[in-house]
Amino acid sequence: MRNLSQGRTVHLLDVENLVGAPRPVLAEVATMMSLYHACVPTGGMDQYVAAVNHGALLSVGLVLSGIQLLVRSGRNGADEALREVIRLDRLHARFERVVIGSGDGVFADLADWLRRRGVQVVVVSRPGALSRRLRRTAGRVIPLEPVLGLAA
């Protein structure tokens, strides 16, 4: 029987963390996604889940149309929504690689949990925004920064 997770990747995007603003505007979200696609290896069958607070829903939803968008308000609401996806959607059984787009240390325990189950864990974060715990736990870290040719 073939492993159904083989070759599959899911990208979990904490948009506010990747942009560096709690209520990013359209241009900030579009720039972040351009940088993300330039820095992070992706495939045509990759799945994306983004999480935001209610104040960022419109700008993020307009830019990231077509991907699963979770909305949760309150302190660390977006983080909690993504943490639930990791736990409840059985990502360890469905994906070979999980890319966590956030530098928040709250993801360290879940990244470790995924790795112990054989999942490749990649963390994408803005330089200077990555917690030490998450850096130590990740299998690979990709800095989200302008790439030659994309810099303004």
> What is the per-residue pLDDT across 34-46, written as a single tens digit (0 to 9) for each?
999 999 998 888 9
> What is the per-residue pLDDT across 28-84, written as a single tens digit (0 to 9) for each?
999 999 999 999 998 888 999 999 888 888 888 888 888 898 888 877 888 888 888
**Assigned domain for 148 exists:** no
CB 25 within 8 A of CB 62: no
What's the CA gap between 118 and 97, in Å, rounded?
9
Q: What total number of domains does the chain contain?
A: 1
**Assigned domain for 150 exists:** no
- C-alpha pair distances (Å), 119 with each of 55, 101, 111: 33, 16, 9
> What is the per-residue pLDDT across 85-137, written as a single tens digit (0 to 9) for each?
887 888 888 999 999 999 999 999 999 999 999 999 999 999 889 999 999 99
CATH number at residue 13: 3.40.50.1010
Q: Name the residue range of residue 102's domain.
A: 9-143
